[in-house]
Amino acid sequence: EEHLGKCCNELVCFHERGELICVLNYNGDLEKEIEILFERLRKRIRDRLDGYCTLARGSREREAAGIIDSTLMARGALESRIVLGVDRILDVEEIEKLTRDTSEFLTPERENRIKNCVETLNSKGFGAEVESMFTELFAQENLPPTVYYAVARRVGEIVLEQLRDSGARVGNPSALLDELNGIVADSYTPAMLRTLTTRWGVGILERVLYEKDGRESRAMRLAKAYIKDH
């Protein structure tokens, strides 16, 4: 606001998790001003937080109705940091060049193997399957960056759907999915995305197994107490 406020007719900012979304209404060209602002932000974040700053620019729209589309484009550009790197400015035009059909990474066969691991609460097998899938994914070239995140989110959906279908108690599925979405959004390298997604799924399976063992042990204790009393 301090840097761009005087250059814009309107400037609206709001934040969501680690994202700061800005809608700028301006005349002329702000290219240079935005680049200056980015360098200031990057230096401040690096000095004070020891972190990274990535700025994604959506499309320039002439009508207010285009704001939503521009914001979605900017978010898509932001996700491309997993391929193009952080600490830089990313434009929509860069990700439009990265196209490819990637439906083969979550084939029915692979989904069935993941579902089987979830159904049997085989956290070790689940971890190995997800690690293998991501390793194969990362070996491909010219993938659209959004695919990495889409695959991770789909793995989460499979876990929760299979646990629900098998009657397992998983707490609040919506909260768990929100947790995964947050993990996915915060991941900015392939290795980070693979590790955190795998850890999320393994943690849920181990928690369900622990609670299941606890319930079965309690049932056994009650049965023994009944036999003793009668």
pLDDT given at position 96: 61
More confident residue, 105 or 191: 191
pLDDT given at position 97: 61
pLDDT given at position 173: 87
pLDDT given at position 29: 87
DSSP 44: H
Q: Mean pLDDT in the chain?
A: 87
Give residue 176's pLDDT band: very low, low, confident or very high (50, 70, 90): very high
pLDDT given at position 220: 78
pLDDT at 72 over 90: no
* Angle of the 190-229 helix axis to the 173-186 helix axis, nearest 10: 150
pLDDT given at position 108: 87
More confident residue, 196 or 222: 196
Percent of the chain with pLDDT over 70: 95
Residue whose C-alpha is closest to residue 134's, from 114, 153, 151: 151
Please say whether the beta carbons of 104 and 146 come within 8 A: no
* Structure confidence by residue, pLDDT tens digits, 12-52: 998 877 788 999 999 888 889 999 999 999 998 888 888 88
Write the DSSP assignment of 149-217 as a string of letters.
Answer: HHHHHHHHHHHHHHHHHTT---S-HHHHHHHHHHHHHH--SHHHHHHHHHHHHHHHHHHHHHHHHHHHH
Give residue 113's pLDDT band: very low, low, confident or very high (50, 70, 90): very high
CA–CA distance, 110 with 80 (Å, rounded to integer): 25
CA–CA distance, 192 with 180 (Å, rounded to integer): 13
CA–CA distance, 89 with 42 (Å, rounded to integer): 10
CA–CA distance, 79 with 90 (Å, rounded to integer): 10
Give residue 102's pLDDT band: very low, low, confident or very high (50, 70, 90): low
User: The tokens of 147 are what?
Assistant: 């695919």
CA–CA distance, 91 with 80 (Å, rounded to integer): 9
Residue whose C-alpha is closest to residue 208's, from 127, 121, 125, 120: 121
pLDDT given at position 180: 92
CA–CA distance, 145 with 160 (Å, rounded to integer): 24
Residue 208: C-alpha distances to residues 113, 142, 169, 171, 213 (Å): 19, 38, 7, 9, 9
pLDDT given at position 24: 92
CA 125 to chain centre: 22
* Structure confidence by residue, pLDDT tens digits, 122-159: 999 999 999 999 998 888 877 788 888 889 999 999 99
More confident residue, 176 or 100: 176
What is the length of the chain? 230
User: The tokens of 186 are what?
Assistant: 């915060």
pLDDT given at position 89: 93
CA 112 to chain centre: 22
pLDDT at 164 over 60: yes
